[in-house]
């Protein structure tokens, strides 16, 4: 049976001490500080963030930590406790998109943007517990921890929106994944006990209280065990399809279209028109689902009522956006059959995780069901947690 709660997550103090010890062991001196940023899970609002729409993520209790110190030899030396055989050591002046690659590309993509401020270079040790490749934003957590680290250490004073943009550019321009701002915004802006209601067009946001435990509920995250990679594959295809749909409709973003009826012009009798209509229908209905969930939560409704909206979101991602996989569909079905009020895949798609809204007393039963029926290796209850921060 999979473990339903990650009881082995370190406290911030424990995480900082472990990073300081590992950094000192590796580099022979203590770091100048340790910074942490969380992964995220999105309650609702997938693939709306590059379509001028809304999202509603919560930060995970799982974080990525960066222990950092300045150097004087002009090099960027990167080491990770999770990738012990993949250190990177490169002159700051030699950083170019794609080099270094792999996990080191994410911190390097942040550092390259501030390289005129770090002529001496940096030593950076990474530690963390955000599951990688599980659709829970381990890459954004790494980028955001490093973005706040360089901002603090180099006295850059980046605002929260500037941290988000710095982290996002690392992903888009250095790693080459054409993502929106959902993940980095969640990692920077989320607060404990709340979901972040973000308008990705004007960047206005609202902290929506989310105390599921008080209602006897739990939000269970289920890692399907299938991994994804947004730098390759279908994510970029979906983004291009959405942009083409908006172009044909004469709008800047698909979320400018108020309802599904406004998409009718996409259906021009061709297979491509029908495909663009399905993609756009997901985006427009998903943005409406964010509004529906936020309205229910604001009105103090029974949070069980958001369950069917989550399940409708899964059907839309599966049938219209076509980014689910059989493993995720199986997790959702198993969770619903085991009594979940709602369930859906989360994140960019083509693998990763799902969420299920369940009675607190049913967490073990639903965890067992998704493991036994869908082969999901891991599930845990999310407590909405804090965003990026300095630990020491
Ligand atoms: C990935 C991307 F990084 C986000 O920007 C967002 O588009 C998400 O997929 C889908 O909602 O996590």
CATH of the domain at 219: 3.30.70.890
Q: Which of 56, 181, 183, 241 to mutate to test the pocket of ligand 1 (most atoms within 8 A of CB)?
A: 183
Q: What is the mean pLDDT of residues 289-309?
A: 97
Q: Is the CB of 349 under 6 A from ligand 1?
A: no
Based on the fold, state whether residues 276 and 336 are members of the same structural domain.
yes
Q: Is the CB of 183 under 6 A from ligand 1?
A: yes
Based on the fold, state whether residues 237 and 359 are members of the same structural domain.
yes
Based on the fold, state whether residues 29 and 103 are members of the same structural domain.
yes
Q: Is the CB of 171 under 6 A from ligand 1?
A: no
Instruction: Count the domains in the chain.
Output: 2
Q: Is the CB of 121 under 6 A from ligand 1?
A: no
Based on the fold, state whether residues 219 and 203 are members of the same structural domain.
no
In a domain, 7, yes or no: no
Q: Which of 42, 46, 138 to mutate to test the pocket of ligand 1 (most atoms within 8 A of CB)?
A: 46
Q: Which two tokens stand for residue 223?
A: 């890692």
Based on the fold, state whether residues 203 and 215 are members of the same structural domain.
no
CA 264/CA 127 separation, integer angstroms: 49
In a domain, 364, yes or no: yes
Dihedral sign for Cα atoms in the order 227, 15, 357, 369? positive
Based on the fold, state whether residues 198 and 231 are members of the same structural domain.
no
ipTM: 0.99
Give the distance (Å) from ligand 1 centre to CA of residue 348: 5
Q: Which of 73, 70, 175, 81 is nearest to 114 (CA)?
A: 70
Q: What is the mean pLDDT of residues 105-112?
A: 98
b or e along 236-247 (b: 16 or more beta carbons within 10 Å of the residue's beta carbon)? eebbebbebbbe
- Give the per-residue pLDDT at 119: 85
Based on the fold, state whether residues 76 and 194 are members of the same structural domain.
yes
Based on the fold, state whether residues 158 and 284 are members of the same structural domain.
no
pLDDT at 5 over 80: no
Q: Which of 141, 176, 181, 182 to mutate to test the pocket of ligand 1 (most atoms within 8 A of CB)?
A: 182
Report helix, strand or coil for 332.
helix
Nearest-atom index, ligand 1, CA of 171: 3
Based on the fold, state whether residues 163 and 281 are members of the same structural domain.
no
pLDDT digits (tens, 9 = 90+) for 14-35: 999 999 999 999 999 999 999 9
- Give the per-residue pLDDT at 304: 98
Based on the fold, state whether residues 65 and 203 are members of the same structural domain.
yes
pLDDT digits (tens, 9 = 90+) for 260-289: 999 999 999 999 999 999 999 999 999 999
Q: What is the mean pLDDT of residues 119-137?
A: 95
Range of the domain at 69: 12-207+385-390
Q: Which residue has the tokens 């799902």?
A: 354
In a domain, 199, yes or no: yes
Based on the fold, state whether residues 246 and 180 are members of the same structural domain.
no
Q: What is the mean pLDDT of residues 49-67?
A: 98
pLDDT digits (tens, 9 = 90+) for 211-245: 999 999 999 999 999 987 766 679 999 999 999 99
Based on the fold, state whether residues 201 and 315 are members of the same structural domain.
no
Radius of gyration of the chain (CA): 21
CA 331/CA 334 separation, integer angstroms: 5
Instruction: Choose between 186 and 227: higher pLDDT.
Output: 186
| Catalytic residue list | 183
């Amino acid at each position: 049976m999979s473990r339903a709660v990650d009881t082995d997550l370190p406290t911030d103090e424990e995480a900082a001490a472990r990073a300081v010890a590992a950094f000192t062991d590796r580099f022979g001196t203590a770091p100048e500080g340790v910074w942490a940023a969380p992964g995220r899970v999105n309650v609702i609002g997938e693939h709306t963030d590059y379509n001028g729409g809304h999202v509603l993520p919560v930060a995970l209790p799982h974080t990525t930590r960066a222990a950092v110190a300045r150097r004087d030899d002009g090099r960027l030396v990167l080491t990770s406790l999770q990738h012990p055989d993949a250190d990177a050591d490169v002159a700051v002046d030699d950083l170019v998109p794609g080099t270094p690659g792999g996990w080191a590309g994410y911190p390097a993509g942040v550092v390259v943007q501030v390289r005129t401020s770090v002529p001496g270079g940096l030593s950076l040790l990474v530690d963390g517990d955000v599951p990688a490749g599980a659709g829970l934003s381990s890459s954004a957590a790494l980028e955001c921890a490093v973005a706040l680290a360089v901002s603090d250490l180099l006295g850059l004073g980046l605002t929260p929106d500037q941290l988000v943009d710095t982290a996002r550019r690392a992903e888009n321009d250095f790693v080459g994944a054409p993502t929106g701002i959902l993940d980095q915004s969640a990692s920077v802006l989320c607060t404990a006990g709340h979901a972040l209601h973000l308008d990705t067009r004007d960047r206005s946001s609202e902290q929506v209280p989310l105390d599921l435990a008080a209602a006897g509920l739990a939000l269970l995250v289920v890692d399907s065990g299938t991994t994804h990679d947004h730098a390759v594959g279908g994510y970029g295809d979906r983004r291009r399809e959405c942009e083409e749909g908006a172009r044909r409709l004469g709008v800047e973003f698909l979320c400018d279209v108020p309802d599904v009826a406004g998409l009718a012009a996409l259906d021009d009798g061709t297979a491509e028109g029908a495909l663009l209509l399905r993609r756009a229908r997901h985006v427009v209905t998903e943005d409406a689902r964010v509004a529906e969930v936020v309205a229910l939560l604001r009105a103090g409704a029974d949070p069980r009522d958001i369950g069917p909206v989550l399940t409708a979101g899964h059907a839309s991602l599966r049938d219209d956006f076509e980014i689910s996989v059989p493993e995720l569909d199986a997790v959702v079905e198993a969770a619903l059959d085991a009594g979940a009020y709602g369930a859906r895949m989360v994140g960019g798609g083509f693998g990763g995780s799902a969420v299920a809204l369940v009675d607190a007393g049913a967490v073990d039963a639903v965890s067992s069901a998704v493991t036994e029926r869908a082969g999901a290796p891991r599930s845990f209850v999310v407590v909405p947690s804090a965003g990026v921060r300095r630990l020491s």
